[in-house]
């Protein structure tokens, strides 16, 4: 059975449709990269899965249980953690306090402050620094660490590299390798196609709220993904050819 199943999900912002009839499955240990242009619906889809935005139709099932009536807080306890676009740390709290706040509602598991610092050693000398005083890369590492402190079944990462200098992106992704190697199940929104194709086991490209291309990362070429990104191919699913 899949860990996460999304069925015909519809998400609206007022009268504006943001996600249109999206369906997919995610299995334990998979890394699904969601790619697409700005406004494609990627962030809206992640927020709906995390419980931050209520869908207008469809179902979201975790281990076979429908989550649509569950709040964002309840979903954290069930094992879904979102690292939102823009990080949204508690700017007035220290790095350590940001991690501890998340740890207060943590599930049982291997992630704690020591293991987070093992994955993100750049944070160790910053524990007493206010989150608002950190660089963008340091804030992103803190935000990912905060999500890991809840010991999620599924980690939702929204725009990991957005707004970061190239050197900061390299450092964050280098540290993420420890998370990836742990067998974590991840949905990653990433606009940098090269990066997405490198780390993902599966890729789904969204266009105007729909998934128009989906398949194993190893079976998709950059040209195929780029064509889907710009709406130059018809909808395809895993195993289809262009």
Q: What is the pLDDT along the chain (242 residues), one digit of tens a residue?
A: 899 999 999 999 999 999 999 999 999 999 999 999 999 999 999 999 999 999 999 999 999 999 999 999 999 999 999 999 877 899 999 999 999 998 777 788 889 999 999 999 999 999 999 999 999 999 999 999 999 999 999 999 999 888 888 899 999 999 998 998 888 999 999 888 888 888 999 999 999 999 999 999 999 999 999 999 998 865 555 444 33
Q: What is the CATH number of the domain that holds 116?
A: 3.40.50.300
Q: What is the bridge-based pairing of β-strands 202-207 and 31-35?
A: parallel
Note down the domain range covering 86.
Answer: 4-229
Q: What is the C-alpha to C-alpha distance for residues 39 and 22, in angstroms, rounded to an integer?
A: 15
Cα–Cα distance for residue pair 90/67, rounded to 1 Å:
27
**Is 238 within a domain?**
no
| Closest residue by Cα to residue 24 from 51, 57, 60 | 60
239 belongs to a structural domain: no
Q: What is the pLDDT of residue 135?
A: 94
Q: Is residue 130 part of a domain?
A: yes
- Residue 23 in domain: yes
Q: How many alpha carbons lie under 13 Å from residue 207 in its C-beta half-sphere?
A: 16
Q: How many domains does the chain have?
A: 1
Q: Is residue 234 part of a domain?
A: no
Burial class of residue 64 (count of CB atoms within 10 Å of its CB; 0-12, 13-18, 19+): exposed
């Amino acid at each position: 059975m899949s860990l996460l199943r999304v069925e015909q999900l519809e998400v609206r912002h007022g009268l504006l449709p943001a996600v249109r009839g999206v369906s997919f499955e995610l299995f334990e240990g998979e890394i699904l990269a969601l790619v697409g242009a700005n406004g494609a619906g990627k962030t809206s889809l992640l927020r709906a899965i995390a419980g931050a935005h209520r869908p207008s139709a469809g179902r979201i099932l975790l281990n076979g249980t429908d989550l649509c009536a569950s709040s964002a807080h309840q979903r954290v306890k069930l094992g879904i953690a979102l690292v939102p676009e823009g990080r949204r740390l508690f700017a007035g709290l220290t790095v350590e306090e940001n991690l501890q706040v998340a740890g207060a509602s943590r599930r049982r598991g291997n992630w704690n402050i020591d293991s987070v610092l093992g994955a993100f050693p750049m944070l160790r000398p910053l524990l007493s620094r206010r989150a608002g005083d950190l660089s963008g890369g340091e804030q992103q590492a803190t935000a990912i660490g905060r999500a890991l402190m809840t010991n999620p079944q599924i980690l939702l990462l929204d725009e990991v590299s957005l707004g970061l200098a190239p050197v900061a992106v390299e450092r964050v992704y280098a540290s993420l390798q420890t998370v990836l190697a742990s067998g974590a199940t991840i949905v990653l929104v990433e606009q940098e196609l090269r990066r997405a194709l490198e780390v993902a086991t599966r890729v789904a490209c969204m266009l105007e709220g729909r998934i128009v291309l989906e398949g194993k990362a190893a079976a998709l070429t950059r040209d195929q993904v780029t064509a889907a990104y710009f709406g130059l191919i018809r909808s395809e699913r895993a195993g289809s050819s262009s």
